Amino acid sequence: MNFETRCVHTGVDKDKAFNSCTTPIYTSSTFSWDTLTTNKGFDYTRSGNPTRRALEENLASLEGGIDCRATCTGMAAITTSMYLFKPGDHIIAGHDIYGGTYRLFANVLTEQGLQFSFVNMQDMANIKAAIRPNTKGIWIETPSNPLLNIIDIAAITSIAKAANLLTIADNTFLSPYLQRPFELGVDVVVHSTTKYLNGHSDVVGGCVITRTKEHADRISYITNALGLACSPFDAWLVLRGVKTLGPRMEAHQKGAMAVARFLAAHPKVEHVYYPGLETHPQHALAKKQQKGFGAMLSFDVKGGRPEAERVMENLQVFQLAESLGGVESLVEYPETMSHASMSLEARRAAGISERTIRVSIGIEHPDDLVAGLKHALTFA
Ligand SMILES: *Cc1c(COP(=O)(O)O)cnc(C)c1O
C-alpha cells in the first residue's frame, strides 16, 4: 500500500469486538490472564497497550522499520535510543543539533560515562577525524535547527559502516513523508511526535523505530525497563493526527515556499535559510535525499535586535511560540527562546544572530501567511 493509505489504516482498524473503524482508547492499566501462562497479548500498560501498539505499527510502517516504541516525549525516545550504548562509548554528533538533545548528551549522559564529540557534519573529514578507538555511534539530525543546514545521510552511513558504528537519526524536522533515513542506511530512527507526526500541537510524544530484530528487542526491553512509554490517550491523539500527515505536509510545504520566496525578495530581509531556495548552499543535496523541502525556515532581518523585535511584535496570523510542526504557523526568537540555553559564543559560532527569526509554517492559506509577514516587516 502507498504511504498515505498506510497513514490512515496501518494498525488502526483491528477491533474484533465491535468492528469500530477507529482505534478504541484502552485506558486499562492491567489486562486479565486466561490461564496462568496465557493472555491476549497484553498484561500491563507500561509494557504494552493495544492503543499504543496501533500507533507503533503505524509509525514503524511509515518509516519502513520492523518495530517501533512510542514514548512519552521526544526526549524520552532519544534517551531510550542512547541505551544502545554503554559507559565508555564515544558518540559523534553535529554541533548544531536540537538544544534539548545537546543538553542530554553534554550535561547528563556524560555523567553516565558516555563521551561525545560535537562536530560540523557538513564536512565528512570532520567526522572521520573525530573517530576514536572507542567510537560506537554517530548521531544524525538534518535539517538542522534553526539554520536549516543539510548533512549528507548516505555519506555518513557509509563512513559508519566502514568503522562499524551505529547510526541514529532524528527525523523530526521532515517526517517520514519527506525523508526516510532507513533508505539511506541509518540503523535507528527517532522522532518527537509532538511535531509533524501528531501535527496539531496538542500532545508531547516520541518514538524509536528499528529495523533489525536485535535493536527492536533491546529498545522494547529498555522502554519497559525505564518506564518511558506514552499514555494510551496520547498514543490515540498521535494516531489520529498521523492519518493526515501526507496532505498536511503538502500544505505546509506550499506555504513555506511562498513565504521563503516572499522573504527572499523583501528589502528589509538580509538572508533566508530555506533548503527549497536555489540559493541555499545544500539545495542540491536536499533535493537528492529529501522528498520535499519541509516547512521550517529562518531569516535574518536587516538591522539588529530592535528590528527583529518589531517584526515579532507586529505579526498577524503567526503566533509567537516555540515548537513546530503544528497546523498553526509559529514564529520564535532563537536568541531568547529555543536557543537561550546555548552560550552566546556557541550561538554566534552556530551562525545564530540577534537578527535571526525562526518560522514554522502551518497549513493556513499561503496568501494570509505572506500578508501577515508583510504587515510585520513594515515596522522593521
Ligand atoms: C522537539 C524536538 C525534540 C524533543 O522532543 P520533545 O517532544 O519536546 O521531547 C527532539 N528533536 C527535535 C529535532 C525536536 O524538534
pLDDT in tens, the chain (380 residues): 999 999 999 999 888 889 999 999 999 999 999 999 999 999 999 999 999 999 999 999 999 999 999 999 999 999 999 999 999 999 999 988 998 999 999 999 999 999 999 999 999 999 999 999 999 999 999 999 999 999 999 999 999 999 999 999 999 999 999 999 999 999 999 999 999 999 999 999 999 999 999 999 999 999 999 999 999 999 999 999 999 999 999 999 999 999 999 999 999 999 999 999 999 999 999 999 999 999 999 999 999 999 999 999 999 999 999 999 999 999 999 999 999 888 898 889 888 999 999 999 999 999 999 999 999 999 99
What pLDDT was estimated at residue 341? 81
Residue with cell 538580509: 270
Q: Are strands 356-360 and 90-94 parallel, antiparallel or unpaired?
A: unpaired
Q: What predicted TM-score, i.e. pTM, was given to this entire model? A: 0.97
CB atoms within 10 A of CB 223: 26
Report the nearest-CA residue for atom 1 of ligand 1: 192
Catalytically annotated residue among 46, 287, 302, 310: 46
Cβ < 6 Å from ligand 1: which residues? 73-75, 98, 100-101, 170, 172-173, 192, 194-195, 204, 206
What pLDDT was estimated at residue 13? 83
What pLDDT was estimated at residue 16? 87
Is 44 designated active site?
no
Radius of gyration of the chain from Cα atoms?
A: 21
How far does residue 263's CA lie from ligand 1's centre (Å)?
A: 26
Report the nearest-CA residue for atom 9 of ligand 1: 74
Residue with cell 501577515: 372
- CA 173 to ligand 1: nearest atom: 13
What pLDDT was estimated at residue 283? 98
Our mutation pick for probing the ligand 1 site, out of 75, 103, 173, counting the most ligand atoms within 8 A of Cβ, is 75
What is the set of domains in the chain, with CATH numbers? Answer: 3-242 (3.40.640.10), 246-377 (3.90.1150.10)
How far does residue 75's CA lie from ligand 1's centre (Å)?
A: 6
What pLDDT was estimated at residue 82? 98
Catalytically annotated residue among 26, 83, 98, 333: 98
Question: What one-character-per-residue DSSP string does 167-183 give?
Answer: EEEE-TTTHHHH--GGG
Report the nearest-CA residue for atom 15 of ligand 1: 172
- CA 205 to ligand 1: nearest atom: 7
How far does residue 192's CA lie from ligand 1's centre (Å)?
A: 5
CA 306 to chain centre: 31
Q: Are 99 and 141 in contact (CB under 8 A)?
A: no
- CA 77 to ligand 1: nearest atom: 9
Helices (H) and strands (E) in the chain, counts: 14, 12
Catalytically annotated residue among 96, 152, 170, 234: 170
> Grid coordinates standing for 237?
491523539
Closest CA to 148 of 311, 348, 283, 349: 283
> Grid coordinates standing for 94?
553535529
- For residue 69, list its beta bridge partners: 208
